Structure 1
Amino acid sequence: MVALLTARASETLALDRTLSPSTGWTRRHWEDLADRLLGGAEPFTSPRRARILFPGAPGGYGSDIDGLEGFARTFMLAAFRIAGDPARTGDLVERYAAGLAAGTDPDSPERWPRPDEVDQAKVEAAAIAIGLHLTRAELWDRLDDRTKRTTIDWLATVIGQPYPPINWVWFRIVVEEFLRTVGGPFSEADLEEDLAIADGFFREDGWFADGGTRAYDHYTGWALHLYPVLWRTMLAPGHPHQARLDRYDAHLDRYLEDAVTLVGANGSPLVQGRSLIYRFAAAAPFWAGAMAGSTALSPGLIRRAASGVVSHFDAAGAPDDRGILTLGWHQEWRQLAQSYSGPGSPYWASKGMLGLALRADHPVWTAIEEPLPIERGDVLRTVVAPGWIVSGTTADGVVRVVNHGTDHANDGVAQRDAPLYARLGYSTATAPVLSADARDPFDGSVVLLDAEGVPSHRSGFTRGGLTTLPTSDGSATGRATSSGLARWIDADADGPDHGHGHAADRTRAGARIHLCSAVRGPWEVRFVRVVPGAGDEVPLGALRVGGWTVSGRDLAVATDPTSAVAVADGVRSAVVALPDEHDPLPTVALRSGVRDLDDATPLGPRSGTPWCETDGPVRTDHWHAFALLLDGATQPGVDAPAIAGVAGSTARTITWPDGATTSLDLPASH
């Protein structure tokens, strides 16, 4: 069992197991955390309060931007605190009003870089606009005329500026909409252009892609669903956007049905996608649902999900004992940050505390917590847009996704596999290997090896289908497929790291790899077929299957020629080669092992990845089968599934360890 963490807020505040049976957290715990975060910023605040420069190496845009980030992102948190509790937050109003006056004054020694000077200031402008909007009566209306004018002038430099066609378009939307509400300049053309781009992010079942690629990650929730809800609160009566807002509402409702199944029983979000240093910003879409009046989730379930996520990090050391959010996941782990991240960047986590802007009598604060889906029973779900099979198991509280649709690329686009996007699996109990010296595909992968042992990449693969299949005991099995050329990528690994793969400078192509996953509970049976082509540039080599990476203080392993198991901190991973008992054709010899790395993930100092590979070139035009396990057990021995089929047929039957069976047809391949 992956243990629930005890939140540090409970060291000084009693847990309320009547109102919050799962987490014990009430609004008072949230206020305590917010006050610790805002108090932790005080020692690093400049004399005129315009900049908050947290300790650490400067970010990619320099210390001036770092100081602005520290102000803007903590101001968002302060604004939520002020909006929800104006009677007790006058000191925050004074603190941030002074910083606003100094930061927007062009003659101030603490003046901020403008959005037309440094692109990153466009991001921070949005946080400032949202904060000012939510505290209009408490802060904006009390500013002197000069500060109002300099603030409007500073924000107005976003008008007409270029913005990348990703979640950034929402930054300009909320800034210019705020300017409209306070009588400042704005551009209707900018707003219409940005809204049209944002509408183009819609995908199936309430999901958004962050741009034009298969970029599915936490930005769907903490940006692309959050900003429309905040934008709505800025709109004047009679606005022309009701139809668009209705679509956004429907998308949010549907997305939340999936999002709540992705939270582990211990509150951990998936360790997947870029900007993970924003940590409990992952709670933002649940609060957006509460603010929008969503009916997809009950108020008690919204608070259970949000409190679970935030208390998970608080218990694990974020913020640290100084009240600081460092660059990392639980504790500081600098390798998790992208090149654009500075010491103030983690305070985008403030988005996950939006619920504080809702008053104490809101139903989301007064309702009794309700259990997460994973606490009510095992979860099996297909999520079409990102191409995920979601499998959550109540016994250990772990949520896994098996990934056949996300790579931050598009079909046929060759680039290096991004560890945070292109792996075949992500979970709430594991992290992909992120150390700089070990980023070639190994964990969560199926690769071919060239003559030097260099693995292929899968980005640019072709998606297949997602479905669920009946299982003999009345449960279900998830099935997903994909295929793609094995590519060897030479890329500029020294370029900026934005969390997704580097584009290829040179590519060599090999055989095509076809994959079919059958997922039930903690197990995935992964079928692999390798089909060579006449124009292959790379001779056929060995096939390697890498499992889940487990991380912790200690690592235990067990191996034999056809299986490997790794256990760390109560999480177990295994890869087992499965013989097909009714296929008489010989298979090539196998070997297996566990790759042992130090400081490779943010979840612990030691990591182990079980693997299995052919001892020589893989046999082609044949479906090989491997079982991959991720669960909360600690013993190294595993009882793996078994498969049966007939030579020349695509029909297979899987017998799971509990005796239940699933029949499926493997996809045709050419």
Structure 2
Amino acid sequence: MAYQIQNPDYTLSPETGMTRQHWIDAGTHLLEGIFKHIPTMDDPIVLPKQSDVIYPKADDPAWRFKAEEYEGLSRTFLLAAPLINAKPDLKCGDFKVADYYAHQLLLATDKTSERYLGTTSELIEEYGPGWYQHTCEGAALAISLMNSKEHIWDNYTQEQKDQIAAFLSDYAHSKTLSHNWRFFNVMLLTFLRVNGYEVDDGLLQDHMQHIMALYCGDGWYRDLGFDYYTPWGFHFYAPIWCKWYGNEHEPELAKIIDQRHAEFMQTYPLMFSREGHQIMYGRSIIYRFAASAALATSAMVKDSPVDFGWMRRIASANLMQFVGRDDFYTDEGVPCLGYYGPWDPMVQFYSCAASPFWMAKAFVCLMLPEDSPFWTATENSGEWDEIGDGFKTVTLPGPGLTITADGKTGTSTVQMGKVKSSEGYNNLPPYYSRLAFNSDFPWEDDNTDGAVPQQYCAVELDYPEDHLLPYSVGSAGERDGVVYRHVEVKAHDDVPGRFDLADIVVPGGLLRVDRQRLSTRHEVSLGHYGLPHIEGVAAKVEKRTVNGCECLTAAIPGRQVALIALHGWDGVDHLVHTGKHPEADESTVIFARRRREEHYQGMPLLITLMLQKTDDSPWTDEELSVVKLVKPIAWLKDGQPMGAEIELADGRSFVIDYGHIEGNVSY
């Protein structure tokens, strides 16, 4: 059942009504759903299995079942620890929460207990070299023990502390993966150090060196892709590490961490909509509002420049985006494996039923003192007031991201670059490959019949079984108001096909001026955002003509899309998809289409206006007449084929020249 705000405070929090007490209440609401599944103090947290995608499976080795128990303990402790800190006598059902976790930690680290979880060294000895989920969960235990230190760790005997420390030390000093996982070892090593245990200082330095080397600029770190692992990973752990250790013992390094965090926060809040909703993109999105963890750790950073009234407004709205919805919960009262409702296409193999509780990182805000500006500043809408009905776009060269806050719709959009499949020519997963991701229009799963939302989908007519979807999206930067990117798709026999992208942000959407580079005869489609059939009600689709060009619109209550085929397309159409959308079983996708029966048809320009709205007002001719002039150029002066001159109704003009893409594209 959804959490409901009681006694909202619209003086301190005029946007959401939420205060620190409401965060405690919401966290307790989540925790109560967990404790329904714990019969006795000796029982571990093993939540009901929800999906066939997740581990453990029936034939998995025993350590996978122990990893499930470990996630149940560690990730829910991430939620419980700040609540214990705020309310030491907190009870859920018949359990005093602090007593339960204190007891479970002793069982989990006691080699004579059947609840013993095992160390990395023991796992390697029994199962061989590899990467074990236990390392990740060990770091969560360390953070939670620090967050509840006065009420759990400090109450252990020295013998009990030594038992837990020896267990954690094995993870801390064992192998790890060279991305955000290094922070797990850092947090474990640092926990041990600040609590009086000896650690390998050289190992700690090695991990910090490799972490800092992943920095790419603009506040972002490279962690496979550029996604929420920067805010809920790097900018979560690093400020906490500075607070524990860095500020005192590594002040120069801590200063750099603070500077990077401040740089990140200059643009990251724009990735949340006017209402404070996050964008659904990237892997592990079942962690949902963990995306706002970095907003809270801003208050741990020295001389942070952020507007804390805006940060709390976003964080509270981001929390309520999920916990305030009934479909966020399973029938058993715990967060489902999906975004809103259950949805397998966004669930990764490394997840189990307790994995969503990584979202508890957002509750780090409860570790801030009550007089922190994060809690005392009056809520506000931040830069959205300045944006008004216009838009603000920033392109970040480091991660290759373009972020747009659109005042007309109140939505936020991110366009990704620097994404490459880790499996050669295999398709990128849809949570990385879409041409644009929007806060109010979630991505759909791939559809092999074409009409893939926010994506080009091509079929070679000689090999109709091969659907050409991206295996890389490269960034070529922004020039004169145009964002250039490069998409490669797998064609027959692994010969790549290409699309050169030129994105122009317009109020309420994007103008796409793209160059297609497919040599064989083919069929190509480009879909708009899919609209879910909420409660089974289909979208209303209408066809019209705008300045001589075909236009298709689709609408559901509160959301609309419009697609105008300005140049290069044969026509527009729509399809109803089944099982592709995270909000409903069926969805409607409007799309442009093109078919060529002969090989070697040149490099066509595909020019498409893609608009969206977040109200129910009918589309006007003025709204749809964004583009004033489209003039293809067969050869530009620099010898580059197929550019274009574009004039918009708002007075802006552009010359599209793809000539710098090949020499500057990066992944």
Which TM-score bucket, shorter chain as reference? 0.7 to 0.9
How far is the alpha carbon of 1:177 from its aligned partner? 1.1
How far is the alpha carbon of 1:356 from its aligned partner? 0.9
How far is the alpha carbon of 1:615 from its aligned partner? 2.8
Q: Does 1:407 align with 2:407?
A: no
Question: AA paired with 1:516?
Answer: A
Distance in 1 separating the partners of 2:43 and 2:384: 44
How far is the alpha carbon of 1:409 from its aligned partner? 4.2
Distance in 1 separating the partners of 2:605 and 2:180: 41
Residue 562 (structure 2) aligns with: 574
RMSD (Å) for aligned C-alpha atoms: 2.8
Q: How many percent of aligned residue pairs carry the same amino acid?
A: 22
Question: AA paired with 1:68?
Answer: Y
How far is the alpha carbon of 1:653 from its aligned partner? 4.6
Residue 365 (structure 1) aligns with: 375
Between 59-68 and 345-354, the greater mean CA deviation after superposition: 59-68
How far is the alpha carbon of 1:545 from its aligned partner? 2.0
Q: How does 1:132-281 map to 2 (within 5 A)?
A: 132-211=145-224, 215-235=225-245, 238-239=248-249, 241-281=250-290
CA contact (8 A) 1:576 1:626 kept: yes
CA offsets per residue over residues 545-592 of structure 1, 9 Å max, x none? 22222224132223479443332342222322114xxxxxxx6x6032
Distance in 1 separating the partners of 2:407 and 2:246: 46
CA contact (8 A) 1:375 1:397 kept: no
CA contact (8 A) 1:483 1:512 kept: yes
Distance in 2 separating the partners of 1:254 and 1:526: 30
Q: 2:55 aligns with which of 32, 47, 60?
A: 60
Q: 1:70 aligns with which of 66, 69, 72?
A: 72
Residue 641 (structure 1) aligns with: 626
CA contact (8 A) 2:451 2:525 kept: no
Distance in 1 separating the partners of 2:612 and 2:311: 27
Cα 1:148/1:646, change in 2 over 3 Å: closer
Between 392-401 and 193-202, the greater mean CA deviation after superposition: 392-401
Residue 557 (structure 1) aligns with: 541
Provide the aligned length of Structure 1 versus Structure 2.
616
Distance in 1 separating the partners of 2:395 and 2:487: 21
Residue 60 (structure 2) aligns with: none
Distance in 2 separating the partners of 1:236 and 1:38: 32
Distance in 1 separating the partners of 2:38 and 2:386: 46
How far is the alpha carbon of 1:319 from its aligned partner? 4.7
Distance in 2 separating the partners of 1:438 and 1:341: 26
Cα 1:511/1:9, change in 2 over 3 Å: closer
Unpaired segments ≥5 residues, structure 2? 57-63, 124-130, 637-642, 663-667
Q: Does 1:386 align with 2:399?
A: yes
Cα 1:383/1:567, change in 2 over 3 Å: farther
How far is the alpha carbon of 1:275 from its aligned partner? 0.7
CA contact (8 A) 1:50 1:98 kept: no
Residue 458 (structure 1) aligns with: 470
Q: Does 1:114 align with 2:122?
A: no
Normalising by structure 2, we get a TM-score of: 0.85
Residue 626 (structure 1) aligns with: 608
CA contact (8 A) 1:93 1:139 kept: yes
Cα 1:486/1:344, change in 2 over 3 Å: closer
Q: 1:487 aligns with which of 490, 495, 503?
A: 490
How far is the alpha carbon of 1:80 from its aligned partner? 1.4
Distance in 2 separating the partners of 1:287 and 1:64: 32
Distance in 2 separating the partners of 1:573 and 1:231: 45
How far is the alpha carbon of 1:655 from its aligned partner? 4.4
CA offsets per residue over residues 18-37 of structure 1, 9 Å max, x none? 11011111111101011111
Partner SS, residue 460 of structure 2: coil
Q: How does 1:419-458 map to 2 (within 5 A)?
A: 419-434=430-445, 442-451=452-461, 452-453=463-464, 454-458=466-470
How far is the alpha carbon of 1:444 from its aligned partner? 1.4
How far is the alpha carbon of 1:236 from its aligned partner? 7.2
Distance in 2 separating the partners of 1:319 and 1:290: 30
Residue 127 (structure 2) aligns with: none
Partner SS, residue 421 of structure 1: helix
Distance in 2 separating the partners of 1:394 and 1:236: 40
How far is the alpha carbon of 1:222 from its aligned partner? 0.2
How far is the alpha carbon of 1:420 from its aligned partner? 0.6
Residue 510 (structure 2) aligns with: 524
How far is the alpha carbon of 1:626 from its aligned partner? 1.3
Residue 313 (structure 2) aligns with: 304
Partner SS, residue 340 of structure 1: coil
Distance in 1 separating the partners of 2:30 and 2:42: 16
How far is the alpha carbon of 1:250 from its aligned partner? 0.9
CA contact (8 A) 2:227 2:282 kept: yes
Distance in 2 separating the partners of 1:95 and 1:438: 49
Residue 107 (structure 2) aligns with: 102
Question: AA paired with 1:192?
Answer: Q
Residue 473 (structure 1) aligns with: none
Partner SS, residue 482 of structure 2: strand
Question: AA paired with 2:591?
Answer: W
Between 131-140 and 219-228, the greater mean CA deviation after superposition: 131-140
CA contact (8 A) 2:47 2:353 kept: yes
CA contact (8 A) 2:491 2:497 kept: no
Distance in 1 separating the partners of 2:581 and 2:202: 45
Question: AA paired with 1:18?
Answer: T
Unpaired segments ≥5 residues, structure 1? 1-5, 470-477, 490-506, 580-586
Between 614-623 and 479-488, the greater mean CA deviation after superposition: 614-623
Cα 1:294/1:576, change in 2 over 3 Å: farther
Cα 1:466/1:236, change in 2 over 3 Å: closer
Question: AA paired with 1:541?
Answer: H
